[in-house]
Amino acid sequence: MHKNLNIITMKAIKFLLLILLTSLSTETFAQFGMGGMGMGRNPQTGRRQSLAPQAPQRQEKPENLTAEQIVDLQMDAFKEALDLSAFEVAVLRTILVNSVQKRIELQLLKLTDVDQIRAAVEKIDKEQEEALKSGLPAEKYDAFIALQEEGFKKNKKKKKKRKKNKS
């Protein structure tokens, strides 16, 4: 009878260990999102999005900025880089606001002829250049032009890098 009791006890211990091991492993799978095929999950990838429908995200249109707002976004960088006085800041801001306003108006016209657009942009650039030459000291005008060209080069490099990454 003693042997029979040992066999029953051993079976009971094995059974309890099996239940304990099973419960611990299911808790681990549930906690770390490594569940099986239930709830639309792929067993190789672990936990993913639920299958519950989600409300569509609204794409908010970017607010159209005015010429003043666009220039104000850039003015701090110009002030620091060019070390402008209050008068020079006012002159630069006025000239830039005028040229940006003309560019916005050009976009609103929605011209289809490329030559007309190019001529209008060149005219705006020429007027801005002349106004800056007459309104700013020569060294600050040259520094402003260099700063703009440097900014354009950075943008072109970024675009080229993006194109290379896509292919």
Q: How many domains does the chain have?
A: 2
Q: What share of the chain is helix, strand, coil (3-state, %, to 5)?
A: 75, 0, 25
Band the pLDDT of 49: cuts 50, 70, 90: low
Domain assignment present for 130: yes
Structural domain containing residue 17: 2-31
Domain assignment present for 40: no
Domain assignment present for 23: yes
Domain assignment present for 147: yes
Domain assignment present for 17: yes
Band the pLDDT of 9: cuts 50, 70, 90: confident
**CA neighbor of 78 nearest in space, from 15, 149, 144, 10:** 144
pLDDT at 7 over 70: yes
* Whole-model pTM over 0.75: no
The answer to whether residues 127 and 133 touch, using CB atoms and an 8 Å cutoff, is no
Say yes or no: 12 and 82 in one domain. Answer: no
Domain assignment present for 37: no
Domain assignment present for 49: no
Tokens 């770390």 found at: 32
